Structure 1
């Protein structure tokens, strides 16, 4: 199997032993649903894989920064309550992927670095193995999103779509709240600043 350039997001649930069996299943289902959303963004599989009980991994194509995806994964959990949280380690590099997409059998520096970084982390954080500017942006995104309420997470999750996010009126309709409530939730969640920063970052990363 040939090596390819990928960005790995590896995480585990924080305080998972405090969750009931149903709560753990809810959290993993939320992460899996977020991974499906992320696949739509990249137009290819990201191979959501559970590992080590409360751990998980996804694999993005190429050298994607991974921060937008980390925010989506956090929002997918947070919409169910503040008890649902994950740490996320991000690393870009070469990797070999198995044909069946089981990331537990993947290998290469991207997976090694993401796993090592996750093992070093304490508490709910986003960190990027590369250090420098990407890690600084990851830390800021973590800080902003750490305070999201469930209502803010529900509002911002669909708005993280990188191209043509939905209208706020459509989000309001799907959540059965007013458009004003959606706007207030997005403002409190720091959406405008996050959107501008992510757009600038991803544009700069393009060849």
Structure 2
């Protein structure tokens, strides 16, 4: 990534982390780290997954249009491990710093601060919303609605939807069924229950709109 190009930053914190055992926290961070490594294939760049502020975490996205898709993927990764695991997420978009440190705890640029502020908003509203985008506006509305839908994912639904959240090299239902040891019909049923068809249309529409917006800015 070149300096001054747009990036997105996600800053997260495990929900009710003080009630989780050390093993549960270890499982959660392993799932988040593995998800970040998988997402590097979408982004075309590492996410620099960093443990942040105790039981928090932070990543940087080279393709900011995928911010909401990325947030949903992180939630799915946690829920696929345990239906009790979840994360608050704050997101923001801004300019990439001239030098990006592999440990994001060293980053203090505006986009990192804005993402942390969005996380604080998500944690301050008595769990009514767990995912927010800074600044408030149309994209934040999408985050709030997607948060409400994905908050209801069960462990089987999250395990089914997680592979399909990739925007490229999307597997078939048969591939996922074989991987999960389930029938194809069970996977399709889980995807419908997780509201995957509507989420996919919304994400595709949002991302196409962001591409058009950035193309207009660059013209």
Please state which band the TM-score falls in when normalised by the shorter chain.
Answer: over 0.9
Bigger shift: residues 120-129 or 28-37: 120-129
> What is the aligned partner in structure 1 of residue 83 from structure 2?
82
Q: 2-side partners of 1:90 and 1:25: how far apart?
A: 23
Match of 1:142 in 2: 147
Q: Unmatched 5+ residue regions in structure 2? A: none
CA contact (8 A) 1:152 1:186 kept: yes
Aligned partners of 1:95 and 1:109 also within 8 Å: no
Of residues 8-17 and 56-65 in structure 1, the stretch that sits farther from structure 2 once superposed is: 56-65
Matched, 1:29 2:30: yes
Counting matched residue pairs gives 207
Relative distance call for 1:24 and 1:131 in structure 2 (3 A) is same
- State the Cα RMSD in Å: 1.6
Matches of 1:95 and 1:68, distance apart in 2: 20
Could you list the runs of 5+ residues in structure 1 that have no partner in the other structure? none
1:43 and 1:36 mapped to 2: Cα distance? Answer: 11
| CA shift for structure 1 position 120 | 2.7
Question: Does the 8 A contact of 1:79 with 1:153 survive in 2?
Answer: yes
SS of the residue aligned with 1:163? coil
1:12-33 CA-to-partner distances (Å, cap 9, x unmatched) read: 0011111111111000001001
Q: In terms of mean alpha carbon deviation, does 180-189 or 164-173 score higher?
A: 164-173
Residues in 1 aligned to 2:64 and 2:82: alpha-carbon distance in whole angstroms? 32
1:153-168 to structure 2, matched below 5 A, reads 153-168=158-173
After superposition, the C-alpha distances for 1:35-76 in whole angstroms (9 at most, x for unaligned) are 111111111111100011100000011532500000000000
Given candidates 123, 132, 135, the residue that maps to 2:137 is 132
**Alignment match, 1:93:** 94
Contact 1:8 1:59 in 2 (8 A): yes
Question: How far apart are residue 5 of structure 1 and its match?
Answer: 2.4
CA distance in 2, matches of 1:34, 1:63: 17
Specify the alignment match of 1:202 in structure 2. Answer: 207
Residue 98 of structure 1 contacts residue 105 of structure 1 at CA under 8 Å; is this kept in 2? no
Q: Distance in 2 between matches of 1:80 and 1:204?
A: 33
Q: Which structure 1 residue ranges, 4+ long, deviate > 3 Å from structure 2?
A: 1-4, 97-100
Matched, 1:7 2:8: yes
Instruction: Tell me the TM-score normalised to structure 1 length.
Output: 0.95
